[in-house]
Structure 1
Amino acid sequence: GPRSVLITADSSAWRRIGPAVRAALTDALRTPGDWLPNAMVPDDRASSDRAIEDIARDVIRTQVGDYVRSHGGRIELVDVCDGVVTVDLGGACRGCRAAHDTLRSGFEGELRRRCRDVVGVRARGD
């Protein structure tokens, strides 16, 4: 997954590198501020929200927003709070069965691809 660590080695190498991998992971878990995305620590959430907001605005302004507008819809950023992005879907999106898929697969998918700090995405009124 996007928040996973993957280490590959041939089976004979694990006896040699296993203890070092275990020690590195143990050290990392003791100091999470050093390995969280963008070295974000809990009291840095406001700056993380601002970064998410900038990326969300760009996603809306470009590919996902273009797609929504091409179908007569509208997507507007309402708020970003503690990593949760709230948007308003309007125009042809209001009441459209595909709006949920566009929000999840299109907007949220692109937002998460570009920013690992995103906790969730919701449409106003959900």
Structure 2
Amino acid sequence: MTMEAYRYEDGSISYPGHPRGPGGTEPVETIDLSEYTAEVVTWTTSTATPPGVREPNTLVIVEFDVDGRQSDSEGGSGDETVRAIGQATTDDLETGDTVRPVHVEELREPGAGIREPDSQEWDGYRFEPV
């Protein structure tokens, strides 16, 4: 599974990707953010979580520098960034920490909500300190 962001004709990057970018331009490239590390911009811990979500649940906003930092598989040449929000693997995080996305099979317990478990996907990414 990939953590796919889109780069648009005007150079902007969006995660999650959309059919049209901020200037109305179309995507020209996909970027797999799971190959990159990111920096924690801010974080919070929720103690009143929705049904099926672990409690407490630490959430982070992270910033990927997809052109300025090297990924595991390619070098960079610019300074384009994109932010993402998601669960952290631990509550032992600070602003400025470096994290990497890790795939998990269940971000929440499928049978705990009001939706039919088979009606949606439950996997995704959490952010783990490097």
Provide TM-score, normalisation by structure 1. 0.24
Higher share of residues assigned strand = 2
Provide TM-score, normalisation by structure 2. 0.24
Higher share of residues assigned helix = 1
